[in-house]
Amino acid sequence: MKTTIRATFIVFLFSFTCLSQVIKNDITGKILEYKEIKKATQLKDELHTALNSWIVKNYQNTKKGIVLNNSSKIILHSFFNASLLDNFDNKQKCKIEYTLEISIKDYKYKVSFNSFSISSKTHGALAASLFSYSTTSEDSFRTAVTEVAKNKRKGARKRLLKLLQNKKKFLKFYHYKKTRDAHVETQIISHCMALTTLIDNNIKQVEDDW
């Protein structure tokens, strides 16, 4: 099955030097990448030095998580603790792992968060069921369920297609999935935005110190 992606551009009003982009899988609704392109006043090597300063401040064991670190790019693996909603809408603990890539050029850099993975020691099945179908709209959800059903075994395929024919059950399932996906998606985007802000503030602080 061919995977397509849909990009949503957001220009933040509090900054004229920032453009963020969220890229999702059209069928599952899963975030594939969150990225921001930031302008700066430093040359490439100066930016790299400032970014290294940020890594030391925010990662206790920098060697373990860093995959690549040179004047053009920094790649590291990390995670943050989050929550997911169980069947009773109670918050349960989960962990969201991701890869952070920072590409560096003269006077600008790109921050990219990707390869998101959600796990839970107590609610593993719920974590695995997140982002199974796009919940952008009822139409996108219906399309996603139809596409996923094509690759299911006969019994599962029949149940999904039958669900589409029952409007009440379809809407209940749609809102159930949408609520749980949105709960986690909000945390992912908030975490990415907060870290990007920390990076930018650190670079500006280093610039001021110079």
**Which ranges of the chain have pLDDT less than 50?**
1-17
pLDDT at 16: 39
Strand order in the sheet with 5-10: 5-10, 18-25, 31-39, 108-119, 91-105, 73-85, 66-69
Amino acid 63: pLDDT: 65
Indicate if the alpha-carbon torsion angle 129, 82, 200, 77 is positive or negative: negative
pTM of the model: 0.88
Q: What is the spatial distance between Cα 142 and Cα 195, in angstroms, rounded to a whole number?
A: 35
pLDDT reported for residue 125: 96
Structural domains of the chain, with CATH: 5-209 (3.30.530)
